[in-house]
Chains A and B, each alone.
Chain A
Amino acid sequence: MKISILLDGVSRSVFALLLLWQPLAYSVELAEELRFSGFVSQAAIHTSDNNYFGNSDDDVSLDYREVGAVLSVSVWENTHFSTLVLSRKAGHNSDGSLKVDHLLVNYNFLNSYDHTVGVRAGRLKSSYGWYNETRDVPFTRPGIFIAQSIYTDRVRNSYYFQDGIHLRGEHRFNLDTLSWHLGYHRPNVDEDEFVDVSPIPGIDETKSKDSWSAGLIYDYDAGKFRLGLFLEDKNFDEIFNDRIKFPQIGIPGTPFKANDLTIENLFRNFKLNNQRFVLSAEYNTERWSFVAELSRTFVDVDIDMNQDSSDVFLAFGSAEPFALDDPDLATSLPAEFANLTSLNFDQKVDSLAYYFQTIYRAGASWDILLRYDVFHFDEDKKNGKKLAEDFKFNFVLYPNHAYYAKDLTIGTGWYINPDWLVRFEWHYIDGTGWVTSADNPDRDDSSRYWNMIATQVSYRF
């Protein structure tokens, strides 16, 4: 197996294990209600600029692969356990180590021809949009990548994996179906992702807090037309280092130069509230599917300043102690910091993301994908222009194009048979809003316009 050469460490052993298990899965129904299945995928990605899932810039990255195994068992009439163990390698964002993608129990306390109502508890995936619950399974995606505006991988580990409980229902009326869920959960935190997306340096620890979700889907005429509305409310507490370095700021005429400026105990912590709603629509014919999804995200960052710290004013070169709400602050600071008072420490960001997608099934085994996908980090400040200026005061300054992305995708998929799938994709992208800093550590060096071509081979059993 040539493909196994590409797999490293844990992935390789998992892959070998799956190959060993494969005949088992076919020949042995381990028990009447015990099911085992899985999938393996390997991609090759080339970009004209900027790295995506590994060192793809003017090179070919093989650092995107998924190996997953699902085990499910129905124990009693209304109880069903399931777990999906996943090794995902995606550039510097996911390292390929084994993770529990979901580990849950479903219990239906009402199940008839017309109604199903039950609970689902354990490690769950955020249940929003058409694709999130199965985002890492190649056979459930319309392309190699799902729309990155809405299903961004930049914060995937923290925003989409959660431990909690969902109350779920499904009601069938002749050819229509109404499904819903209400969820309570604690998101799983990936510290590195918060450091990447934070406008303020020095985050030491992120803790997840009580979070909520709700969803409503209506399938009309056996799902020919589908409409979904999803709401999410996620909460985090972020705790800072004692010492924060501000890489972008130096103070002329003082000993403080760029990267020298260190402030102790400036921030105690901040509360991050992330509210999101997603509107999803889909129209299906035998050969065509038309999909549109729109997401608005409201991020509210409430920063708790440590105003007692003498380091605050000393660091900013002030001769006298000051309080941040002091009206004379502007005059007591060096000129470079005259507008420091305008710092908005209750920062609100209103993100907008949407895409349109068409899938054409040319035959039983061919499909063609066309998608236009748009992401704006802050809807009021399109194209990042004003935003990058505002964020100067937040000490991490990215180029304007790091705050948006527009992606035109054309792709095709070929099912060699129902278990083997090969995909090709071309992306033309304006903006770097959803590329990770992990893959692109020097964002000043990133390019606004770039192309990506990718291919992926997937196998399931």
Chain B
Amino acid sequence: MRHRLYLLLLVLTLVWLPPASSMALEIASHPAVNKSRLSVTELRAIFSMRLTHWSDSTPITVFVLPSGHPLHKEFSKKVLKLFPHQLQTAWDRLVYSGTGKAPTVVKSEEEMQYLLTVTPGAIGYIDKSIKHENLNIIRRR
């Protein structure tokens, strides 16, 4: 009886806990961005605002959701391995020390999706469940 209980718990755990790598978001860019995969180093270079241009010289425009947005938290922690407060501190330091610029904060997921579609060189992230025919999806390497 006890073994069955353990087995049940094990099965439930496997069913309920998604694999560590799965996420509810996709990294997305303007359809003309010619990238299908980016490593964590590359994503950090882009979202820490260090890399400013794609290899074809198109300026990179980074869109993010507000710091407290669940999708932003997930992106920050799971993709960049940073806590949102660290990311915010790094961006503030860039702007106020004159070293660089902060990403553009969009108000909603809808605005993010729209701006990614119409801004050449743009990169951001969207909810996986959203239809995204007009966007380039970037996988992590």
Contacts and interface: CB of A to CB of B under 8 A. Distances in A.
A434 B99 CA distance: 30
A222 B43 CA distance: 12
Contacts of B57: 77
B97 A72 contact: no
Nearest to A359: B85
A113 B97 contact: no
Contacts of B40: 174-175
Given A74-B101, A173-B41, A111 B50 contact: yes
Interface in B32-86: 39-42, 44-45, 50-53, 57, 59, 66-68, 77, 80-83, 85-86
Nearest to A135: B96
Contacts of B44: 172, 175, 177, 222
Interface stretch (A29-37, A188-196, A252-260, A323-331): A29-37
A134 B93 contact: yes
A221 B98 contact: no
A292 interface: no
B106 interface: no
Interface in B99-131: 99-101
Given A77-B57, A223-B82, A113 B96 contact: no
B68 A140 contact: no
A125 to B, nearest CB: 7
A33 B121 CA distance: 13
B95 interface: yes
A102 B97 contact: yes
Contact of A284 (B51, B67, B83, B97): B83
B13 interface: no
Contact of A364 (B68, B81, B89, B92): B68
B100 A106 contact: yes
Contact of A106 (B39, B41, B99): B99
A139 interface: yes
Interface residues of B, number: 33
Contacts of B101: 35, 72, 74, 80
Contacts of A174: 39-41
A222 B95 contact: no
Interface residues of A, number: 45
Interface string A318-359: 000000000000000000000000000000000000000000
A245 B17 CA distance: 79
A176 to B, nearest CB: 9
Given A106-B100, A113-B51, A364-B68, A286 B83 contact: yes
A84 B92 CA distance: 13
A139 B67 CA distance: 14
Interface in A364-381: 364-365
A177 B95 CA distance: 19
A418 B96 contact: no
A185 to B, nearest CB: 15
Nearest to A173: B41
A35 B96 CA distance: 12
B97 A418 contact: no
A78 B82 CA distance: 26
A139 B59 CA distance: 28
A221 B81 contact: yes
Contact of B41 (A84, A137, A172): A172
Contact of A32 (B59, B86, B95, B99): B59
Nearest to A104: B98
Nearest to B69: A364
A222 B82 CA distance: 6
Nearest to B77: A286
A289 B92 CA distance: 17
A22 interface: no
13 contacts: A70-B98, A106-B98, A111-B51, A111-B52, A112-B45, A133-B96, A137-B92, A174-B39, A175-B81, A284-B83, A289-B85, A365-B68, A418-B66
**Top 4 A-B residue pairs of the complex, sorted by shortest distance between their CB atoms:** A82-B98, A133-B97, A222-B81, A134-B96
Given A77-B52, A80-B52, A284-B86, 9 more contacts: A32-B59, A70-B95, A111-B51, A172-B44, A175-B40, A223-B82, A223-B86, A286-B77, A289-B85
